[in-house]
Amino acid sequence: MKYNIVSKEKIDVGVEDYSFRLTASAYNFSWYYNGSKLVLPINDNVVVLVEEVERNKLEASIYSRTREIDVSDVVEKTAWILGVNEDLSEFYEIWKNDSLLSRSYKVLRGIRIRGTSLWQSLLIGVCQQNASFKQGWRMLALLYKTLGKHVYIKGFGETIILPSPLDVARASEQQLRSCKLGYRSSIIRRLAQLFNRKELSDTIGAPIDEKELTRIKGIGPYTARLALVLSCRRYDKAPIDRWLKRIIVEAYKVSESDAEEYWHRIWGKYAGLATILATIALDAVVLTKALDRIRKGQTYPLLREELLTPLTLWRHI
């Protein structure tokens, strides 16, 4: 599948505190990020290769299978995915004074969570159900490698286009089993059917609410809220699982029954963003290790390349 370069566009970062390196590396695969260049598939026909050419200035090389594309729309979507105009100054004020996460402030300052389509965010959420960070992202990687479209981008190398709902619908049971999804394969097939019937929209930034998602069998509040964080930058409702609930109890000395309400009281409209940040700050280690790190005050990413963490995932998979 051949993609030809259509245009090179400059993207100015509109906020003071922004780190392209952190934004590109967090929760990413090697076929999307290589330490300097970031691949962003916009849709099946358009792929953007982004790199930082100087501080707060990005260059977006737009590749397409067809020359008939709306370049300004692609640039706008790229800027939204990267959060280059997302003002998080209020969030920073809470972050740098928080008893749990303040030690990660200097290390992670400037990070933005890359936006996704609703389809992609739901795939991430479903793979994380009842799974550790490593288990969930390995499942997702197998899904990409097995059902995604492998393409070559000049200046980067091979990348993989996210498998579409149609790709999933056409997949054999054997293909899905090879992704080690377990019970999650039926949920992903169900979601694919909804997208294929246009009952759910895969347009980047399309509005959706939690109630609409939790009506779908297999999608609970955690997966729905994670999808809203990633696909809409809706941070007001945090995706809180057993891992984070226990961390809140340990760090803030509150009861488990009060943990979720306390988290929302601290972080307010940024509670969902703080949830993602907590996983990055603690390297998404298993609960016993996370609790031990909190007791030691080691609440910041270790940045050791040999460890598989949200910030080093691209080095390993």
pLDDT at 48: 98
pLDDT at 208: 86
77 and 216 belong to one structural domain: no
144 and 214 belong to one structural domain: yes
Q: How far apart are CA 186 and CA 192, in angstroms?
A: 10
Both structure tokens of 254: 């509150």
210 and 139 belong to one structural domain: yes
Name the DSSP letter for residue 149: E
127 and 209 belong to one structural domain: yes
In a domain, residue 312? The reply is no
pLDDT at 207: 75
In a domain, residue 156? The reply is no
pLDDT at 201: 86
133 and 212 belong to one structural domain: yes
pTM across the whole model:
0.96
In a domain, residue 202? The reply is yes
Which of 151, 197, 148, 137 shows the shortest CA–CA distance to 175? 148
CATH code for the domain in which residue 198 is found: 1.10.340.30
240 and 100 belong to one structural domain: yes
Query: For the purposes of burial, counting CB atoms within 10 Å of the CB of 19, is it exposed (0-12), middle (13-18) or buried (19 or more)?
Result: middle
pLDDT digits (tens, 9 = 90+) for 235-276: 999 999 999 999 999 999 999 999 999 999 999 999 999 999
Q: How far apart are CA 187 and CA 193, in angstroms?
A: 10
9 and 69 belong to one structural domain: yes
In a domain, residue 206? The reply is yes
Which of 83, 105, 103, 111 shows the shortest CA–CA distance to 93? 105
Angle between helices 118-127 and 184-196 (to 10 degrees): 170
184 and 198 belong to one structural domain: yes
Both structure tokens of 225: 């809220």
H runs (alpha helix) in the chain: 20-25, 71-82, 89-95, 105-108, 118-127, 133-147, 165-170, 173-178, 184-196, 210-214, 221-232, 242-252, 259-267, 271-281, 287-296, 313-316
pLDDT at 284: 98
Q: How far apart are CA 48 and CA 64, in angstroms?
A: 9
287 and 260 belong to one structural domain: yes
Can you give the residue range of the structural domain that contains 204? 118-149+162-230
pLDDT at 2: 80
In a domain, residue 74? The reply is yes
pLDDT at 202: 82
What is the number of structural domains in the chain?
3
Which of 208, 267, 266 shows the shortest CA–CA distance to 235? 267
Residue corresponding to tokens 């259509």: 6
In a domain, residue 78? The reply is yes
247 and 145 belong to one structural domain: no
Both structure tokens of 171: 């997949």
Q: How far apart are CA 191 and CA 193, in angstroms?
A: 5
Q: How far apart are CA 141 and CA 308, in angstroms?
A: 14
Looking from the CA of 23 toward its CB, the CA atoms found within 13 Å total: 31
196 and 238 belong to one structural domain: no
242 and 299 belong to one structural domain: yes
Residues of the chain with confidence (pLDDT) below 70: 1, 205
In a domain, residue 309? The reply is no
In a domain, residue 180? The reply is yes
Residues with Cβ within 8 Å of 1's Cβ and at least 6 positions away in sequence, in order, are 65, 149, 150, 151
